[in-house]
Structure 1
Amino acid sequence: MTTSKTGLTRRRLLQAGAGVVPALALGASPARAAAVPIVSGVVPAALAGFDAAVKKYVTERQISCAQLTVARKGKILLARGYGFYTIPAASGTGMRSRIMGVQPTSLFRVASLSKHITSAAIMRLVQDGKLSLSAPVTTVLGLSAEADPRLEQVTVLRLMQHLGGWDRATSKDQLWIDHTISATLDVPLPIGHADIIRYATARPLDFDPGSKMVYSNYGYMLLGRIIEKVSGMSYESYVKQKLLAPVGITRMRLGRSLRAESPAGEVSYASKYTAKSVVDTSGAVVPYPYGGFSMPNQDANGGWLASAVDLVKFAMIFDAAGPVLNAASIAKIFAKPETGVNAGGAWYGGGWWVRSNGSGLNTWHNGSMPGTFSFLARIQDGVSYCAVFNRREEEGTPDFDSIDPLLGKATGTVTTWPTTDLTSRYF
């Protein structure tokens, strides 16, 4: 572990909640060492338990970039950025790399926290009378059921609830086998959505649609194509215009595969693993988060860039009828599927896990891909929180899913909730 001039390691600085850490601790040259904030944003004293939980969590897992946002009853109460990242200098420019502190508004890949966004977009089309949840995917997208007639039983709703008939434990996750698809179809890398659909449609389903719930990234990728087909717009444009703009969210966008393509304000991603590039035919071995998988192909199932404050603000559209969704649409997203509840008393709605809590519902989801872990929850008493990280669980690292009970426990330590709303500071 690197030690700064002050003798404090990055880990000890984070544990202590120090305000700055010399850039030298990140490997910058001594001549370039400068003070870089290690934490940013606002943490009310009443919510210090949340802040302490995340500091401990990132320290134990050696996470270099993180965010946390907490809200209650429509007000953002805590918004925090942790750590820093390096923006490499562009080749041939003669410029030096820059070290940036994570802000509450910095952008992260959020992986499967994209799914409730896609479900909301589907429900908006249904709400506007442009789509039916009972419509078969074969009809909407013009797909052939020749390889398996059961494909005609895969409806829009079944896609939303992961009841479509694909089991990645059996037939592999179609969003993560670019080399296989490229070789099978004899098409060059990078492959696109049409190639993935052509590959999957030519193969039989793994189970009868509607008979059980099996998580499917491919099903959500198809929902993205349905949104495009029905709306006549790109998936990203439809979401931005119909879902994000009405609630004042402007930063969110779809991510790209390579570091050089990152927009301003996007953090860097860490993984000890490498992979064979899927962005070209070079066969190069690349850092897994940068070219080891296709971000453009992930769009509707896992492709969004967002900050924790963006995700918490967007999650407020599910609290009550508003400019994006009406009450009937929200109810349908949280409704129990035809398969009922699982052994733990939960069920998968539209992009959310759901569980009854007294007279209300707790809803949550996580996201995970190389270089990303994220978690978002809406719980009792109008409380919601989101944490995002630039690393996910890998061999030898502690359990990343423990962020759920840690933040839940922090909620229980709050005796008096703050009333100051930070929303205007970030939007």
Structure 2
Amino acid sequence: MKKNILLLLFLPNVLFGQTGINVPEMTHCDTQMLNFLNSFGIPGATFAVSINGRMVYSRAFGNADLGSNEITQPYHMFRVASLSKPITSIGIMKMIDNGLLNLNDKIFGTGGILENHWYFSNLTISDPRYNDITLQMLLEHTSGWDRNINCFPNPTSPYPWFFSGCDPIVAPLHITQSLGESNPAKEEHLISFLLENNLDYDPGTVYAYSNMGFLLLSEIIEEISGLSYETWMKQEILHPLGIYDMHIGKNLLIDKREREGEYIGEGYTTLSSYNDGTFVPWEYGGFSVEIMDGHGGWIGTSRDLVRLLLAVDGFNSKPDILTPTSINTMSTPSTVNNFYAKGWQVNSADNWWHSGALDGTASYLVRTSGGATWAIILNKRLTDANANAFWTQLDALGWNCINGTSTIPSHDLLDSPTLNATNLLATNITENSMDLTWQNGNGTNRIVVAKDITSISSPFHFQNYPLDGNDYIANNVFGSGDNLGDNSFVVYNGSGNSVSLTNLTSNSDYVIRVYEYKKVSNNGNNSLYLLGSVDELVQSTTTLSVFENQLSNDIEIYPTLVNETLNVKIQNKTAESYNYYIYNLLGVPVEKGMLENSINQLNLNFLNSGVYFLKIRENNSKLRVLKFIKS
């Protein structure tokens, strides 16, 4: 395997690793980022840069996790906080291009976009000025809300303290208490809390930064599309660009996504947004990231943020997904603030940017008039006496990197696959082999990795992934090809669509993935892998029919023609619990769980009609396989 070297740089009290494809022309960018991280004690970061439409730099630094055990890679996703606002603006502009919206559209009142909204239409809105709010005002933060003017009681029950200002995101328990709603709060609850209070200014007259304004824009996308905000944004904006590593984040550490980093706060706690009476870190359960949506909810990679920005930057270097008119409108400042347009901070030099901040997150996204873009995401921010210096230097990182690059690299690290392989299937399954087939994506080649997960209880099947710039040696004899580091072995590398996998262990479960990659002169002859939207198959090595007559009769199922509930009766139990797996006729697992009682009831409403097999295992050995039919 050809490997990129992981460079470890020792700085006072800190050990930082650098990962990603090394760019000799831009090593000063590495040094500047490392100095910044060390100066402010930031554990991890990702940093991507494009120049003239080519992504020339995509690097990662430090550690991605709380325990400092996981080296940050460019593929790590992190919360981006208020970078969600320009992302939402892009979505709104796309709807305008599609003829679904107009900047002058009213939001509330007769004929308003949300006139018949499922929740807001039931509210009593006493301030008639709400009927004057337009789509443009929400995009420009001139709707009339001011989060710096106090609106909460003192103390802000049920919190034992007072929250100054009037931003509902900081006090979700107070919002639900005021509205008589259950917890955790929903997006509509936060907005409704403000709607039932008066505006602070006449709409369109004063700029006041508003998270709720962009949350309302998320609701508008949902109302117009009939889809969730996240689903529509992925379907219409992100996936067509080959962006699969952007999602609305989760609140809790236990629910983080595969390849998502972790967030380091500054030690502050608050009441859990789940209203269980516990005090939790703001970054994990204090804030409700899941309902931030279009104002602060996205997670993503720096490289995908750059890919997105290049699709709306107004330059000819990469095709834009918005019309020139919409791009010009999106970047034109409002009449009341020369430095804020529609989801973007701007200046007279035609530079656009936005920053983002939450406990455990700081981010920057920049497009310059000179044709450069960059994205930086950190897994910690500062709010102490060093905060001003922190933000000043974070803002300067990209500029210094660009200005110090005298020779622009010729490669484009965005010349990578945008469609992964699909329809991964296993056939001719025996105790120690199986044949794999798939439908190729749009890479020049692809690798197949397989892993024995029989005794693994991790929430994710994989912990290691193919790294950009690395070439892997494959062998269809399981265990003989390159090991990615978590005992997932490369069993195929090529341009075909099938492989016969051998040397498997009987009565074992294997997980298989196909990763597309592209290696061409335009990307510097670097193998660039698509990790998102990957097809995954979990397959047992033992065909069901082989064991049916060899197993004990101590297990009974009824009825065998199932409408909703399948009963599983275990006689002469010899273990506290048993693992069960349900397979369809193709041998594909569709459900798994635990059987802990002598008589267990499985709700099978979710299954389509057809023939299925129930496999029950005790202590990693086959116990019984039974067939049933779902009506």
Matched, 1:130 2:100: yes
- Match for 2:326 among 321, 329, 334? 329
In the alignment, the residues of structure 2 paired with residue 426 and residue 400 of structure 1 have an alpha-carbon distance, to the nearest angstrom, of: 33
CA contact (8 A) 1:178 1:278 kept: no
- Match for 1:234 among 200, 205, 228? 228
165-174 or 178-187: which moved more?
178-187
**Any residues of structure 2 matched to 1:238-257 within 5 Å, and which?**
238-257=232-251
In the alignment, the residues of structure 2 paired with residue 267 and residue 61 of structure 1 have an alpha-carbon distance, to the nearest angstrom, of: 19
- The match for 1:417 is 408
- The match for 1:91 is none
Q: Once the 2 structures are TM-superposed, how far is the Cα of residue 236 of structure 1 from its aligned partner? A: 0.4
- The match for 2:354 is 365
Matched, 1:183 2:183: no
Aligned-residue CA RMSD in angstroms? 2.0
In the alignment, the residues of structure 1 paired with residue 325 and residue 92 of structure 2 have an alpha-carbon distance, to the nearest angstrom, of: 13
Q: Once the 2 structures are TM-superposed, how far is the Cα of residue 340 of structure 1 from its aligned partner? A: 4.8
- The match for 2:196 is 202
In the alignment, the residues of structure 1 paired with residue 64 and residue 282 of structure 2 have an alpha-carbon distance, to the nearest angstrom, of: 17
- Match for 2:266 among 264, 272, 275? 272
One-letter amino acid of the structure 2 residue matched with residue 393 of structure 1: L
Higher helix share: 1
- The match for 1:404 is 395
In the alignment, the residues of structure 1 paired with residue 87 and residue 265 of structure 2 have an alpha-carbon distance, to the nearest angstrom, of: 26
- Match for 2:86 among 116, 140, 150? 116
CA contact (8 A) 2:56 2:411 kept: yes
Matched, 1:379 2:368: yes
Residues 319, 194 of structure 1: alpha-carbon distance in 2 compared, 3 angstrom cutoff? closer
CA contact (8 A) 2:66 2:263 kept: no
One-letter amino acid of the structure 1 residue matched with residue 256 of structure 2: S
- Which one has the largest radius of gyration? 2
Q: Once the 2 structures are TM-superposed, how far is the Cα of residue 330 of structure 1 from its aligned partner? A: 0.8
- Match for 1:42 among 12, 21, 24? 21
Residues 397, 181 of structure 1: alpha-carbon distance in 2 compared, 3 angstrom cutoff? same
In the alignment, the residues of structure 2 paired with residue 238 and residue 296 of structure 1 have an alpha-carbon distance, to the nearest angstrom, of: 16
Q: Once the 2 structures are TM-superposed, how far is the Cα of residue 198 of structure 1 from its aligned partner? A: 2.1
Higher strand share: 2
**Residue aligned with 2:205, SS:** coil
- The match for 1:348 is 340
In the alignment, the residues of structure 2 paired with residue 10 and residue 85 of structure 1 have an alpha-carbon distance, to the nearest angstrom, of: 20
Q: Once the 2 structures are TM-superposed, how far is the Cα of residue 215 of structure 1 from its aligned partner? A: 0.5
CA contact (8 A) 1:256 1:296 kept: yes
**Residue aligned with 2:354, SS:** strand
Residues 278, 150 of structure 1: alpha-carbon distance in 2 compared, 3 angstrom cutoff? farther
Matched, 1:283 2:277: yes
CA contact (8 A) 1:77 1:419 kept: yes
CA contact (8 A) 1:352 1:364 kept: yes
193-202 or 261-270: which moved more?
193-202
Residues 195, 55 of structure 1: alpha-carbon distance in 2 compared, 3 angstrom cutoff? same
- Match for 1:214 among 186, 208, 211? 208
CA contact (8 A) 2:64 2:72 kept: yes
CA contact (8 A) 1:246 1:323 kept: no
One-letter amino acid of the structure 2 residue matched with residue 310 of structure 1: D
CA contact (8 A) 1:353 1:363 kept: yes
Q: Once the 2 structures are TM-superposed, how far is the Cα of residue 125 of structure 1 from its aligned partner? A: 0.9
CA contact (8 A) 1:150 1:205 kept: yes
In the alignment, the residues of structure 2 paired with residue 83 and residue 105 of structure 1 have an alpha-carbon distance, to the nearest angstrom, of: 13
Percent identical among aligned pairs is: 31
One-letter amino acid of the structure 1 residue matched with residue 258 of structure 2: A
**Residue aligned with 2:30, SS:** helix
Residue deviations 1:253-285 (CA, integer Å, cap 9, x gap): 110000000011111101123333443221101
Residue deviations 1:308-328 (CA, integer Å, cap 9, x gap): 101111101122384621111
Q: Once the 2 structures are TM-superposed, how far is the Cα of residue 175 of structure 1 from its aligned partner? A: 2.1
Residues 205, 278 of structure 1: alpha-carbon distance in 2 compared, 3 angstrom cutoff? farther
258-267 or 400-409: which moved more?
400-409
Residues 9, 72 of structure 1: alpha-carbon distance in 2 compared, 3 angstrom cutoff? closer
CA contact (8 A) 1:242 1:324 kept: no
Residues 238, 10 of structure 1: alpha-carbon distance in 2 compared, 3 angstrom cutoff? farther
In the alignment, the residues of structure 2 paired with residue 76 and residue 42 of structure 1 have an alpha-carbon distance, to the nearest angstrom, of: 12
Runs of 4+ residues deviating >6 angstroms:
none
One-letter amino acid of the structure 2 residue matched with residue 353 of structure 1: Q
**Residue aligned with 1:300, SS:** helix
In the alignment, the residues of structure 1 paired with residue 14 and residue 194 of structure 2 have an alpha-carbon distance, to the nearest angstrom, of: 49
TM-score, normalised by the number of residues in structure 1: 0.85
In the alignment, the residues of structure 2 paired with residue 117 and residue 78 of structure 1 have an alpha-carbon distance, to the nearest angstrom, of: 22
In the alignment, the residues of structure 2 paired with residue 250 and residue 194 of structure 1 have an alpha-carbon distance, to the nearest angstrom, of: 27
CA contact (8 A) 2:173 2:273 kept: no
Residues 176, 395 of structure 1: alpha-carbon distance in 2 compared, 3 angstrom cutoff? same
One-letter amino acid of the structure 1 residue matched with residue 237 of structure 2: L
Residue deviations 1:151-193 (CA, integer Å, cap 9, x gap): 1111111100111111111041122221221221232321112
Residues 323, 237 of structure 1: alpha-carbon distance in 2 compared, 3 angstrom cutoff? farther
In the alignment, the residues of structure 2 paired with residue 412 and residue 85 of structure 1 have an alpha-carbon distance, to the nearest angstrom, of: 28
Q: Which runs of 5+ in 1 are unaligned?
A: 1-5, 15-37, 89-97, 342-346
- The match for 1:297 is 291
CA contact (8 A) 1:80 1:104 kept: yes
Residue deviations 1:288-342 (CA, integer Å, cap 9, x gap): 200011011111100001011011111011223846211111111011212252x
Residue deviations 1:369-406 (CA, integer Å, cap 9, x gap): 11000011111321111111001112244532121123
In the alignment, the residues of structure 1 paired with residue 148 and residue 337 of structure 2 have an alpha-carbon distance, to the nearest angstrom, of: 22
Residues 85, 412 of structure 1: alpha-carbon distance in 2 compared, 3 angstrom cutoff? closer
One-letter amino acid of the structure 2 residue matched with residue 154 of structure 1: I
Residue deviations 1:84-113 (CA, integer Å, cap 9, x gap): 23478xxxxxxxxx9321111100000000
- The match for 1:13 is 15
One-letter amino acid of the structure 1 residue matched with residue 107 of structure 2: V
CA contact (8 A) 1:274 1:292 kept: no
**Residue aligned with 2:269, SS:** strand
- The match for 2:72 is 102
One-letter amino acid of the structure 2 residue matched with residue 210 of structure 1: G
In the alignment, the residues of structure 1 paired with residue 226 and residue 260 of structure 2 have an alpha-carbon distance, to the nearest angstrom, of: 29
**Residue aligned with 1:189, SS:** coil
- Match for 1:156 among 129, 135, 153? 135
Q: Once the 2 structures are TM-superposed, how far is the Cα of residue 145 of structure 1 from its aligned partner? A: 7.4
One-letter amino acid of the structure 2 residue matched with residue 349 of structure 1: A
Matched, 1:306 2:300: yes
- The match for 2:560 is none
Residues 278, 206 of structure 1: alpha-carbon distance in 2 compared, 3 angstrom cutoff? farther
CA contact (8 A) 1:276 1:283 kept: no
